[in-house]
Amino acid sequence: MYGGGNTFEGVKTDSLAQEDPVKLAEFEAKIARGEKIEPVDWMPQLYRKQLIRMIEQHGHSEIIGALPEGTWITRAPGFKRKLALMAKVQDEVGHAQLLYSAAETLGKSREQMIQDLITGKSKYSNIFNYPTFTWADSCFISWLVDAGAIVNQLANAKGSYGPYCRALDRICAEESFHLKYGHHCVIFLAAGTAHQRKMFQDAINRWWTPMMQFFGPSDKISTHTEVLMRWKVKMSSNDDQRNQFLDMYVPKIWELGFTIPDPKLKKNPDTGRWDYTEPDWEEFKRVINGDGPCNKERLEVRRIAEERGRWVREALKAPKAEYVAPLA
């Protein structure tokens, strides 16, 4: 799972002027032909930097995203749900491993990425800064947050960087179980008692705003990503992804008899796109920058894990090892 709301650094294209124009043209032609870029190929600094940033954020989102759901493993209703949720959370952590490896091929070590996560320097998907009060919140994540992640990941899997695409192909294949499991949980809540229905309705009411923010700021205010689109780093705009998600999942939520807390939400028959209340992007920024309900707890849990695992890492350390980035 993962959020499309990457915080791309304001893309400064002036560094492009320093790149070798011949190599740059070859690089762009290769991408335009639909070929993949591999770690040893020449690439502009900006491409490398933005990809590291994006893949790293994606990896962190998998790690942190495992926390709000992981918290429900011990309290999952029944053995089957517990088993499934454990498997799902394990998958998410496994995805982080795949993604960190992909980012490493670009020249940032995993140690540095982990360090940047626990010191708060790197970002992760904003939605995981919200708490899972009830089992229904965890079901909302399994079904709808994963659904949003899949919209984003399927698009990115067609991107230009070979190792990232290969990691995403594997991740998307694994995610299909998450989505089905999440929907299954929600169907059972919907078809359950009045109390169970209310639990999920409350979860929708809590999560809808973060879910809308999940795909990142509106295209109107997003920093210009034209060069990232041309380089197939970013594969579709935030608004397009949001729209695709609404198209696929709003009917499914309504089918189950739930309501969505946005009076403006409806498909516009003229444009074929969804109208909705613009999410509060100031709040989004504030939460990303550390002021959300769970930011502190999420990072604290990671720091404690890091600290408590130190003796294991030290005991296993191989004195002759030297660092080399993975190959592909």
Partner 1 sequence: MNGNSLDPRVNRLPKIGVPGQVAAKAPLDQFGTFEVFVQPKEGKPFQHEGAVHAPNIEMAYVLAKETFTRRFVCSSLYVADTRNVYVSPMTENTTNAYDLIAEIPQQSGEKVTFEIYHLLRRGKQHIHAGTVSAVGPQEAMLAAKAQLRGDKAIYNVWAIRTSDIRFTSPEDKDLWVTLPEKKFRDASDYKGGDKLKEFLERAK
Q: Determine if 17 is a binding residue for partner 1 (CB under 8 A).
A: no
In whole angstroms, give the CA distance from residue 108 to residue 114: 11
Q: Determine if 202 is a binding residue for partner 1 (CB under 8 A).
A: no
Q: Determine if 165 is a binding residue for partner 1 (CB under 8 A).
A: yes
Query: Do the Cβ atoms of 3 and 214 come closer than 8 Å?
Result: yes
Footprint on residues 269-328 left by partner 1 (CB under 8 A) = 296-297, 299-301, 303-304, 306-308, 313, 316-318, 321-328
Give the residue with the Cβ less far from partner 1, 9 or 307: 307
Q: Determine if 144 is a binding residue for partner 1 (CB under 8 A).
A: no
Which residues, 6+ apart, have CB-to-CB distance to 80 below 8 Å?
A: none
Q: Determine if 25 is a binding residue for partner 1 (CB under 8 A).
A: no
Residue of 19, 28, 49, 131 interacting with partner 1 (CB under 8 A): 131
Residue of 18, 74, 193, 271 interacting with partner 1 (CB under 8 A): 74
Residue of 32, 83, 229, 248 interacting with partner 1 (CB under 8 A): 83
CB of 216 to partner 1, least distance (A): 26
Residue of 19, 24, 36, 218 interacting with partner 1 (CB under 8 A): 36
Footprint on residues 43-72 left by partner 1 (CB under 8 A) = 71
CB of 226 to partner 1, least distance (A): 24
Residue closest to 136 by CA, chosen among 87, 185, 81, 181: 185
Q: Determine if 251 is a binding residue for partner 1 (CB under 8 A).
A: no
Query: Do the Cβ atoms of 167 and 98 come closer than 8 Å?
Result: yes
Q: Which stretch binds partner 1 (CB under 8 A): 36-44, 207-215, 225-233, 276-284?
A: 36-44
By CB under 8 A, the count of residues binding partner 1 is 74
Tell me the per-residue interface mask from 180 to 199 with partner 1, x by CB under 8 A, - otherwise: xx-xx--xx-xx--------
Q: Determine if 254 is a binding residue for partner 1 (CB under 8 A).
A: no
Integer angstrom CA distances of residue 88 from 130, 181, 280:
19, 9, 31
Q: Determine if 226 is a binding residue for partner 1 (CB under 8 A).
A: no
CB of 93 to partner 1, least distance (A): 9
Q: Distance from first CA to last CA of the chain, Å, rounded?
A: 22
Residue of 64, 167, 212, 235 interacting with partner 1 (CB under 8 A): 167
CB of 48 to partner 1, least distance (A): 16
Residue of 58, 60, 110, 123 interacting with partner 1 (CB under 8 A): 110
Q: Determine if 157 is a binding residue for partner 1 (CB under 8 A).
A: no
